[in-house]
């Protein structure tokens, strides 16, 4: 689907016409530059490669500098391909947050916050087993049994256990666009999106 690259600014809340408090996330979306145009004849599919967030030329390789020079733009930190744009964009064109309209629904994907190695209570919502008394001293947050004994004599795949939590790609679907602030490239969506502040996000129609 068509979309743009952005950055998560943070969360806030707005009041609707009925006085209801709505939690919102503020995103800085675009401007994105068309850095490459994929075509059916050359690449086998139609798509646009968009670049977002300038970076210093000294931190870019010579190959990438030549790539961005074709689009007549500065080197970009983030590159993503999008398909199914209704408009015909050319190499070097700039797409702004005006691509979205208030009231429509978008999907936002990003990398969730990394939580490190976590136990089953935090990672999977286990209640914890055992009682806090009768002599037990360290089993309040333990997972309990993870399988039978002599049969099947193994632990099944997919068993919910302690381990690495977060730092994975997450997509939140059907978020309502509350407000579009074109002069500041801001997009306000209802609800929360994955990632920490200033994390890159991909907003798709």
Candidates 195, 197, 200; CA nearest to 170 is 195
Predicted TM-score (pTM) of this structure: 0.85
Q: Domain 3-117+168-204 sits in which CATH superfamily?
A: Translation factors (2.40.30.10)
The pLDDT tens digits along the chain (205 residues) read 789 999 999 999 999 889 999 999 999 998 999 999 999 999 999 999 999 999 999 999 999 999 999 999 999 999 999 998 888 899 999 999 999 999 999 999 999 999 999 999 999 999 887 678 888 888 888 888 899 889 999 999 999 999 999 999 999 999 999 999 999 999 999 999 999 999 999 999 9
Segments of the chain assigned to CATH 2.40.30.10: 3-117+168-204
User: Quick check: 120 and 89 in contact, CB under 8 A?
Assistant: no
Candidates 112, 114, 115; CA nearest to 199 is 112
């Amino acid at each position: 689907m068509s979309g743009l690259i952005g950055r998560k600014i943070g969360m806030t809340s707005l009041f609707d016409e009925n006085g209801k408090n709505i939690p919102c996330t503020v995103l800085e979306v675009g401007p994105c530059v068309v850095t490459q145009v994929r075509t059916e004849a050359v690449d086998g599919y139609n798509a646009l490669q968009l670049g977002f967030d300038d970076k210093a030329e000294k931190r870019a390789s010579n190959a990438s500098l030549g790539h961005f020079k074709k689009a007549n733009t500065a080197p970009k930190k983030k590159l993503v391909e999008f398909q199914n744009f209704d408009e015909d964009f050319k190499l070097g064109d700039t797409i702004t947050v005006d691509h979205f309209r208030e009231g429509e629904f978008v999907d936002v994907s990003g990398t969730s916050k990394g939580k490190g190695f976590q136990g089953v209570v935090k990672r999977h919502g286990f209640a914890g087993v055992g009682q806090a008394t009768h002599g037990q001293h360290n089993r309040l947050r333990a997972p309990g049994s993870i399988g039978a004994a002599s049969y099947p004599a193994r632990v099944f795949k997919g068993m919910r256990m302690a381990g690495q939590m977060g730092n994975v790609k997450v997509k939140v679907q059907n978020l309502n666009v509350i407000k579009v602030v074109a002069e500041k490239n801001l997009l306000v969506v209802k609800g929360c999106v994955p990632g920490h502040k200033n994390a890159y996000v991909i907003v798709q129609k």
